[in-house]
C-alpha cells in the first residue's frame, strides 16, 4: 500500500503534466503555429476533386505512370498557388466492383473550381531553354533563359541508367534523352552553338533540371549528369517520358464548400462540444458528488490529451470528426460511471473508502476493457474500409477511445486515491454516495 | 427480477418497435443522397432577399436537367439537387439561380459525384457495417470463452449481433420517417451515425454481460448452483443505474449537438440520439433476457426456473 503522501505526490505529477499539455494545446492555436488544428475542407472551405485515372492503355509499369501523373498534377497545383494542397493516388477498394485508380486532389481555400480544374486539366509543356551566359542563375522562373524552340514534341523517350565510368563516381544515375529525327538535328545545332552554357529543362514553366552543355551532341541522344539521387533521376525520367499527362483522367467527383458554410459548421461544432461537455460535467458532479468532480477533472485532462493528439499526429478535423469527439466524451464518462457504481457497491457493503476504490477499479476493469476494445476494433475497420468522411470520424473516435481508456483507469484512479481517506466518516460517505442516497444508511444485504 | 420475469411482454414491445421501424423503412423508403446515388448538389445563399421558390424552380426547369429538386434551406439559401452536372451545366445552374446575374449570391457548396463512385461509397459503407458486426461477434465469443457454462460464449456473440441489428434498424426507421417529412436523405453522415451507434450499443450490452460473467465465475468458485435466469436478472438490476446514467450523459452531449450544432450535423445528432435510446433499452430489455430462451434452446443442462413461478 502506498503511503498517503506518495499518492498525493503522483496526483500532483499528473496535474502538472496535464497543465503543461494544456499550455501546449492553448499556445499553439496561432495561425503560424505548426501545431494548429488542421481543419478539413468541410470546415475550412475548399475544393475536393476526384479523378478517375484510365490506365487501360498502359501495358507496363502502371504504378510508375500513376506516380508521374501525381507529380505532374502536383506541379500544376503548386503553380496555381494553393497553400497545403493534398494530391494523392487512391485505388478504389476491390470490395466494390472493378477496382480503378483514382487521383484525389484537395485544395483548401480554393472555391473557384473552374480555375482549379483548368489548371489541372490543361496540357503541360516541356521546353528546353538556354541559360543567358555560362551557367547562369539557378532561378526557377523562365527569367534569364531564352527559348531554343526545342520542346517535348521532339522527345521520343527518356531512360534512366547508372554509370560508373563517365563521372567517376560509382553508380551515379544518368538520364538519357532520345530525340526523334527532327529533334536530333535541332538538338545538335543548339549544342554546337552553345557549349559551356546551361540548357535547362522546363516542365510547365518550372526548371526541373539545368545541365550544362559539355560538348556538341549529334545522333539525337543526350545525357544529363546532374547531381541528383537515383530517386530524383527516376522522377525526372518519368516527367520527361510523360510530358503530357501519362494517364488520361476524368473528373468523377467534386465537392466545394464555401468558407462561410465551413466556418459556421466549425463554430457550431465547437459550441456544441463545449455545451455538451458542461452538461455532462454538471450531471456528473450533481449525481456522483466528489467522484463526479474527480471524473470531471479526468475528463478535462482527457479532452486536453485528445486535442494534443489531434494536433501532433496531425489529424485533419472534419465535422464528422467533431461528432466522433463528442461521442468519445460520452464514452469516457461511461468508464468513470462504471467505476463509481462499483465503488459505491463496495462502500455499501461496508468497505473503507480506499479499499472500495481499489476493488471498484478492479471490478469495473473487464467491462471497460471489453467495451473499449470492441470500439477500437470498430474504429480500425472503419478507418480501413471507410470513405474519407468515415475515416475522419474513425480516426478521432479511435484516438478518443484509447485516451478514454488511459484517462479512466489511470488518471481517475490517481486522483481518487490521493483524495480518499482510509476510512470514511459520515461526511465522506455522503460525498462518495450518489443520487438520492444520503450514504448514511446501514449496509444492506 | 422484474424485467427478466416479465421478458415476454418486453420482447413484444421491442418487437413491435422493431416492426414499426421496418414498416417505416419499407413504406417511406430511405432516399439515398447524392453521396450514394450520384448526382450534384448546389447550395447558394442570397445576399439580398431570397427570390420566390417558384421563380427559381421555373428557371432551373428551363435548363432541362431531368429530375431536379429545389428546396429552401436556412433563411437565405436555396439547395438544388440534380443528376451529375458537367462544369458547363453547373455554370448554367448558377446563372439561373442568380436570375442571369441580377441577384447577388454566394455559392455555399457544390458537390458532384459520379454514379459509379456513389455506388461504390454505398457498398463500402455496407461492408463496413457488416465487417464491424462480424468482428464484434467474434470478439465477444472470445472474451466470454471462460464462461462457456451453462451457455456457450457464441450465444453471447449471437445476442450481441441481434441487438446490433435492432439498434441499427430502429434509428433507420426513425430516419425514414424524418426523411419523409423533412426531405433528409441517407448520406455518409447517416452511415457514420449508424456506425457510432454500433460502438455505443455494444459497449452497453457488454457491461451487462460482464456482470453475468462475473456472477457465473463467483458462483462456480463458491460451488453455488443458481438458476441462470436468476443470475441474469441480478446482473440487469445491478447494472441498471449505470446503464441509465451513461445514456443520460451521452444523450446530454447529443442534445447539445442537436440544438447548438450546425444544421449539417443536426440530423446526425438526432439519429444518434434515437440510436442511444434504442441501444439502452435493447441492452436492458432485450440483450440479457434473450439469453434465457436461447439457453433453454441450446444449452440443455442450464438450470432455469419456470417463468410462471416467482422467485
User: Same domain, yes or no, for B74 and B216?
Assistant: no
Nearest to B139 by CA among B161, B124, B163: B161
Give the domain-ending residue among B50, B78, B113.
B113
- For residue A273, the model assigns a pLDDT of 82
Q: Do you find a cis peptide bond into A314, omega within 30 degrees of 0?
A: yes
Give the domain-ending residue among B84, B113, B142.
B113
User: Does any domain span residue A87?
Assistant: yes
User: Does any domain span residue A40?
Assistant: no
User: Same domain, yes or no, for B22 and B136?
Assistant: yes
* Distance (Å) from the alpha carbon of B41 to chain A's nearest alpha carbon: 9
- Maximum Cα–Cα distance across chain A: 106
Question: What ipTM was reported for this prediction?
Answer: 0.80
User: Does any domain span residue A54?
Assistant: yes
Rounded (10°) angle between helices B288-298 and B228-260:
140
Buried b (16+ CB within 10 A) or exposed e, A120-145: beeebebbbbbbeeeeeeeeeeeebb
Strands A155-163 and A145-151: unpaired
Q: Which residues contact A402 (CB under 8 A, 6 or more apart)?
A: A372, A376
The SS3 of residue B104 is coil
**Mean pLDDT value across residues B161-183:** 90
How far is B123 from A113, CA to CA, in rounded Å? 28
Of the residues A325, A334, A397, A404, the best mutation for testing chain B's interface (the one with the most B CB atoms within 10 Å of its CB) is A334
* Distance (Å) from the alpha carbon of B216 to chain A's nearest alpha carbon: 14
Q: Which residues span the domain enclosing B61?
A: 39-113
The partner residue sitting opposite A375, judged by closest CB among B193, B203, B264, is B203
* Distance (Å) from the alpha carbon of A185 to chain B's nearest alpha carbon: 43
Q: What are phi and psi of B301, to 5 degrees?
A: -90, 0
Whether residue A405 contacts residue B205, with contact meaning beta carbons closer than 8 Å, is answered with no
> Is B203's CB within 8 Å of A345's CB?
no
Is pLDDT larger for residue A57 or for residue B269? B269
Of the residues A381, A396, A401, the best mutation for testing chain B's interface (the one with the most B CB atoms within 10 Å of its CB) is A381
HSE-CB for B101 with a 13 A CA cutoff: 2
User: Same domain, yes or no, for A116 and A73?
Assistant: yes
Beta strands in A369-414 (DSSP E): none
* Structure confidence by residue, pLDDT tens digits, B205-260: 888 998 888 888 888 888 888 888 888 888 888 888 888 888 888 888 788 878 87
User: Same domain, yes or no, for A394 and A366?
Assistant: yes
Task: For chain A, list residues with pLDDT below 50.
Answer: 134-140, 438-445
Buried b (16+ CB within 10 A) or exposed e, A427-441: ebbebbbbeeeebee
Give CA separation, A338 vs A365, A431, B207, in Å: 9, 17, 8
User: Same domain, yes or no, for B94 and B58?
Assistant: yes
How far is A36 from A216, CA to CA, in rounded Å? 54
* Structure confidence by residue, pLDDT tens digits, B128-141: 888 888 888 888 88
User: Same domain, yes or no, for A266 and A301?
Assistant: yes
> Is A323's CB within 8 Å of B245's CB?
no
User: How many structural domains is chain A composed of?
Assistant: 2
User: Same domain, yes or no, for B267 and B216?
Assistant: yes
* Structure confidence by residue, pLDDT tens digits, B53-79: 888 888 888 888 888 888 887 778 888
Give the domain-ending residue among A218, A240, A257.
A257
User: Does any domain span residue A442?
Assistant: no
User: Same domain, yes or no, for B105 and B197?
Assistant: no
User: Same domain, yes or no, for B249 and B276?
Assistant: yes
Closest-CA residue of A relative to B115 is A252
B182 C-beta neighbours (distance < 10 Å), count? 12
User: Same domain, yes or no, for A325 and A289?
Assistant: yes
User: Cβ of A277 under 8 Å from any chain B Cβ?
Assistant: yes
* Structure confidence by residue, pLDDT tens digits, A368-391: 888 888 888 888 888 887 777 778
User: Does any domain span residue B243?
Assistant: yes
How far is A264 from B45, CA to CA, in rounded Å? 13
How far is B281 from A25, CA to CA, in rounded Å? 39
User: B189 contacts in A (CB within 8 Å)?
Assistant: 319-320, 323, 389
User: Same domain, yes or no, for A90 and A230?
Assistant: yes
- For residue B18, the model assigns a pLDDT of 92
How far is B189 from B134, CA to CA, in rounded Å? 22
User: Same domain, yes or no, for B91 and B233?
Assistant: no
User: Does any domain span residue B303?
Assistant: no
User: Same domain, yes or no, for A390 and A403?
Assistant: yes
pTM of the complete model: 0.72
User: Does any domain span residue B142?
Assistant: yes
How far is A376 from A396, CA to CA, in rounded Å? 11
Give the domain-ending residue among B113, B140, B155.
B113
How far is A376 from A402, CA to CA, in rounded Å? 7
HSE-CB for A161 with a 13 A CA cutoff: 16
- For residue A442, the model assigns a pLDDT of 41
> A 118-177 residues with CB below 8 A of B?
none
- What is the CATH classification number for the domain harbouring A332? 1.20.1640.10
User: Same domain, yes or no, for A319 and A225?
Assistant: no
Buried b (16+ CB within 10 A) or exposed e, A381-419: bbbebbbbbbbbbbbbbbbbbbbbbebbbebbbbbbbbb
User: Does any domain span residue A439?
Assistant: no
User: Cβ of A378 under 8 Å from any chain B Cβ?
Assistant: yes
* Distance (Å) from the alpha carbon of A272 to chain B's nearest alpha carbon: 5
User: A390 contacts in B (CB within 8 Å)?
Assistant: 124-125, 128, 188, 191-192, 195
Q: Which residues span the domain enclosing A207?
A: 46-257
User: Same domain, yes or no, for B141 and B269?
Assistant: yes
Rounded (10°) angle between helices B188-221 and B263-281:
20
User: Same domain, yes or no, for A276 and A392?
Assistant: yes
User: Same domain, yes or no, for A97 and A214?
Assistant: yes
User: Does any domain span residue A272?
Assistant: yes
Give the domain-ending residue among A257, A283, A307.
A257
Strands A172-179 and A197-203: unpaired
User: Same domain, yes or no, for B87 and B146?
Assistant: no
How far is A367 from B150, CA to CA, in rounded Å? 20
User: Same domain, yes or no, for B90 and B233?
Assistant: no
User: Does any domain span residue A440?
Assistant: no
User: Same domain, yes or no, for B253 and B178?
Assistant: yes
Whether residue A68 contacts residue A250, with contact meaning beta carbons closer than 8 Å, is answered with no
Give CA separation, A180 vs A124, A177, A217, A239, A245, in Å: 19, 10, 14, 17, 20
- What is the CATH classification number for the domain harbouring B13? 1.20.1640.10
Give CA separation, B263 vs A438, B38, B62, B257, in Å: 43, 22, 30, 10
Residue the block writes with cell 443522397: B33
User: Same domain, yes or no, for A252 and A264?
Assistant: no
User: A389 contacts in B (CB within 8 Å)?
Assistant: 188-189, 192
Q: Do you find a cis peptide bond into A322, omega within 30 degrees of 0?
A: no
User: Same domain, yes or no, for A409 and A344?
Assistant: yes
User: Does any domain span residue B79?
Assistant: yes
User: How many structural domains is chain B composed of?
Assistant: 2
> Is A385's CB within 8 Å of B127's CB?
yes
- For residue A204, the model assigns a pLDDT of 64
- For residue B143, the model assigns a pLDDT of 85
User: Does any domain span residue A183?
Assistant: yes
User: Does any domain span residue B306?
Assistant: no
- What is the CATH classification number for the domain harbouring A112? 3.30.1360.200
User: Same domain, yes or no, for B173 and B233?
Assistant: yes
Of the residues B210, B254, B258, the best mutation for testing chain A's interface (the one with the most A CB atoms within 10 Å of its CB) is B210
- First-to-last CA distance in chain A? 29
Give the domain-ending residue among A233, A257, A281.
A257
Cα–Cα–Cα angle for B90, B93, B94, rounded to 5 degrees: 90
> Is B242's CB within 8 Å of A324's CB?
no
* Distance (Å) from the alpha carbon of A34 to chain B's nearest alpha carbon: 27
User: Same domain, yes or no, for A247 and A369?
Assistant: no
How far is B186 from B126, CA to CA, in rounded Å? 13
Amino acid at each position: 500500500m502506498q503511503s498517503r503522501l506518495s499518492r498525493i505526490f503522483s496526483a500532483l505529477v499528473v496535474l502538472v503534466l496535464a497543465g503543461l499539455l494544456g499550455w501546449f494545446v492553448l499556445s499553439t492555436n496561432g495561425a503560424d503555429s505548426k501545431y494548429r488544428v488542421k481543419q478539413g475542407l468541410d470546415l475550412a472551405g475548399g475544393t475536393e476533386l476526384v479523378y478517375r485515372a484510365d490506365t487501360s492503355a498502359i501495358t507496363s509499369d502502371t504504378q510508375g505512370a500513376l506516380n508521374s501523373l501525381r507529380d505532374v498534377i502536383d506541379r500544376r497545383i503548386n503553380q496555381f498557388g494553393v497553400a497545403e494542397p493534398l494530391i494523392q493516388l487512391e485505388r478504389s477498394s476491390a470490395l466494390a466492383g472493378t477496382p480503378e485508380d483514382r487521383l484525389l486532389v484537395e485544395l483548401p481555400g480554393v472555391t473557384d473550381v473552374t480555375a482549379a480544374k483548368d489548371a489541372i486539366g490543361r496540357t503541360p509543356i516541356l521546353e528546353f531553354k538556354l541559360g543567358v551566359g555560362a551557367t547562369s542563375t539557378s532561378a526557377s522562373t523562365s527569367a534569364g533563359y531564352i527559348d531554343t524552340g526545342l520542346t517535348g514534341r521532339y522527345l521520343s523517350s527518356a531512360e534512366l541508367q547508372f554509370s560508373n565510368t563517365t563521372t567517376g563516381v560509382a553508380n551515379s544515375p544518368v538520364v538519357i534523352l532520345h530525340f526523334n529525327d527532327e529533334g536530333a538535328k535541332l538538338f545538335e545545332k543548339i549544342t554546337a552553338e552553345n557549349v559551356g552554357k546551361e540548357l535547362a529543362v522546363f516542365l510547365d514553366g518550372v526548371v526541373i533540371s539545368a545541365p550544362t552543355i559539355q560538348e556538341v551532341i549529334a545522333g539525337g541522344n543526350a545525357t544529363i549528369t546532374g547531381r541528383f539521387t537515383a530517386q530524383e533521376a527516376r522522377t525526372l525520367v518519368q516527367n520527361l517520358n510523360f510530358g503530357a499527362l501519362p494517364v488520361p483522367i476524368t473528373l468523377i467527383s467534386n465537392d466545394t464548400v464555401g468558407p462561410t458554410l465551413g466556418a459556421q459548421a466549425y463554430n457550431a461544432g465547437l459550441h456544441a462540444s463545449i455545451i455538451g461537455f458542461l452538461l455532462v460535467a454538471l450531471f456528473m458532479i450533481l449525481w456522483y458528488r466528489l467522484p463526479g468532480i474527480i471524473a470531471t477533472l479526468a475528463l478535462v485532462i482527457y479532452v486536453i490529451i485528445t486535442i494534443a493528439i489531434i494536433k501532433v499526429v496531425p489529424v485533419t478535423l472534419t465535422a464528422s470528426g467533431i461528432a466522433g469527439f463528442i461521442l468519445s466524451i460520452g464514452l469516457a464518462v461511461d468508464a468513470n460511471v462504471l467505476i463509481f457504481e462499483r465503488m459505491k457497491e463496495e462502500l455499501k457493503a461496508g468497505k473503507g473508502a480506499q479499499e472500495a476504490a481499489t476493488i471498484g477499479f478492479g471490478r469495473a476493469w473487464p467491462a471497460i476493457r471489453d467495451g473499449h476494445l470492441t470500439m477500437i476494433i470498430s474504429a480500425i475497420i472503419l478507418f480501413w474500409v471507410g470513405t474519407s468522411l468515415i475515416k475522419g470520424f474513425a480516426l478521432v473516435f479511435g484516438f478518443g477511445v484509447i485516451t478514454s481508456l488511459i484517462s479512466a483507469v489511470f488518471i481517475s484512479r490517481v486522483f481518487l486515491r490521493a483524495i480518499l481517506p482510509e476510512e470514511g466518516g459520515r461526511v465522506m460517505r455522503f460525498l462518495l454516495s450518489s443520487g438520492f442516497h444520503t450514504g448514511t444508511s446501514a449496509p444492506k444485504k | 427480477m422484474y424485467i427478466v420475469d416479465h421478458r415476454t411482454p418486453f420482447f413484444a414491445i421491442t418487437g413491435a418497435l422493431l416492426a414499426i421501424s421496418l414498416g417505416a423503412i419499407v413504406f417511406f423508403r430511405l432516399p439515398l443522397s447524392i453521396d450514394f446515388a450520384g448526382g450534384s448538389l448546389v447550395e447558394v445563399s442570397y445576399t439580398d432577399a431570397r427570390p420566390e421558390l417558384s421563380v427559381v424552380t421555373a428557371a432551373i426547369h428551363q435548363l432541362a436537367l431531368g429530375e431536379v429538386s429545389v428546396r429552401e434551406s436556412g433563411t437565405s439559401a436555396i439547395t438544388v439537387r440534380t443528376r451529375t452536372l458537367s462544369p458547363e451545366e453547373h455554370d448554367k445552374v448558377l446563372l439561373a439561380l442568380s436570375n442571369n446575374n441580377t441577384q447577388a449570391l454566394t455559392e455555399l457548396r457544390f458537390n458532384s459525384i459520379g454514379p459509379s463512385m456513389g455506388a461504390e461509397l454505398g457498398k463500402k459503407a455496407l461492408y463496413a457495417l457488416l465487417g464491424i458486426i462480424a468482428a464484434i461477434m467474434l470478439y465477444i465469443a472470445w472474451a466470454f470463452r471462460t464462461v462457456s457454462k451453462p451457455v456457450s460464449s457464441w450465444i453471447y456473440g449471437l445476442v450481441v449481433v441481434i441487438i446490433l441489428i435492432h439498434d441499427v434498424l430502429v434509428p433507420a426507421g426513425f430516419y425514414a420517417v424524418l426523411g419523409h417529412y423533412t426531405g433528409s436523405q441517407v448520406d455518409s453522415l447517416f452511415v457514420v451515425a449508424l456506425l457510432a451507434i454500433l460502438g455505443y450499443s455494444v459497449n452497453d450490452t457488454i457491461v451487462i454481460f460482464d456482470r453475468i460473467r462475473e456472477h457465473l465465475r463467483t458462483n462456480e468458485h463458491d460451488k453455488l448452483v443458481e438458476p441462470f435466469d436468476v443470475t441474469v436478472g441480478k446482473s440487469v438490476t445491478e447494472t441498471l443505474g449505470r446503464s441509465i446514467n451513461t445514456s443520460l450523459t451521452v444523450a446530454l452531449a447529443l442534445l447539445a449537438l442537436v440544438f447548438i450544432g450546425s444544421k449539417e450535423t443536426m440530423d446526425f445528432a438526432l439519429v444518434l440520439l434515437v440510436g442511444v435510446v434504442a441501444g439502452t433499452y435493447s441492452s436492458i430489455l432485450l440483450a440479457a433476457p434473450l439469453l434465457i430462451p436461447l439457453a433453454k434452446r441450446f444449452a440443455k443442462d442450464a438450470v432455469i426456473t419456470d417463468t410462471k413461478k416467482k422467485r
